[in-house]
Amino acid sequence: MILVKDLTRIFEAGNQDVLAVDHVSFEVQPGEVYGLLGPNGAGKTTTLRMILGLLKPTSGDAEVEGFLVSSHPDEIKRRVGLVSTSAGLYQWLTPHEILSFFADVYGVHPLQAEERIEKLSRLFDITSFLDRRTATLSTGQKQRVNLARSLIHNPPVMLMDEPTRGLDVVGSKVIFDYIDLLREEGKAVIVCTHRLDEAEQLCDRFGLLYYGKKNYEGTLAELQQCTSCQTLTQIFLQLLDAPLEPAGILPTAQEELI
């Protein structure tokens, strides 16, 4: 389970500070896929980086399976997987070498690593090119190696940053199936995306981020109820256009505490 507790991050950019993430709180249960949504620059990636321990929050903290990122960053890394389209693969290695390497980085026992590589290779249909240099693989094949890599240490939590960026329909379908698998396996998943149409199909619950602030949160049905809209895209545009009266706003976790 993931707990995001009042995370805030201010970047110093020249003589003007950027408030990238502004007191964001939410939680994600095992088996739940949470969509952290918002336009470019909303603060999605910055939030993920703080949860992962790659970036220090200005204030606030995050907790994964009972471990605080501020005090136990290594425990967090062991329990969290990351899928990001910007994550490159080592072109001169084979998928088998890449998977072994990451198993080692995560401290998976070599015997267990071989078992997992075999299982994930079957799952992602990469067995036939396991020993080919990654440079010679197609984009779709590389994508599947990347997904297998994210699960090599069998983390209970998965963070995904714009996972379908640059992918065609076939590639996107692979991601959709992968997310269904994560849900079935009871993992707590955060999907960051600006693609609201996709998020609507993929996620169980949503947090809408705008200029670093999470103003709205709920399931599609809950968000539909507090607007007169049907789709997430319509809902988002309406919420941005005309901030609702307090009575119509779904309280965020943070507001509920006050």
Ligand X SMILES: Nc1ncnc2c1ncn2[C@@H]1O[C@H](COP(=O)(O)OP(=O)(O)O)[C@@H](O)[C@H]1O
Q: Are 100 and 140 in contact (CB under 8 A)?
A: no
CB of 44 or CB of 153, closer to ligand X? 44
Sign of the dihedral defined by the CA atoms of residues 145, 146, 147, 150, in that order: positive
How near is the Cβ of 73 to ligand X at its closest, in Å?
19
41 binds, among Mg ion, ligand X, none (CB under 5 to 8 A by kind): ligand X
Q: How far apart are CA 151 and CA 157, in angstroms?
A: 10
Sign of the dihedral defined by the CA atoms of residues 140, 141, 146, 152, in that order: positive
How near is the Cβ of 162 to ligand X at its closest, in Å?
8
146 binds Mg ion (CB under 5 A): no
Name residue, tokens 């960053």: 73
Compose the 24-63 pattern: x for residues touching Mg ion by CB under 5 A, - for all others: --------------------xx------------------
Q: How far apart are CA 212 and CA 237, in angstroms?
A: 16
Applying CB under 6 A, the residues found at the interface with ligand X are 11, 13, 18, 20, 38, 40-46
171 binds, among ligand X, Mg ion, none (CB under 5 to 8 A by kind): none
How near is the Cβ of 44 to Mg ion at its closest, in Å?
5
How near is the Cβ of 55 to ligand X at its closest, in Å?
8
CB of 66 or CB of 88, closer to Mg ion? 88
Q: DSSP E strands: which ranges in 128-230?
A: 157-161, 188-193, 205-210, 213-218
3-class DSSP state for residue 82? strand
* Interface with Mg ion (CB under 5 A): 44-45
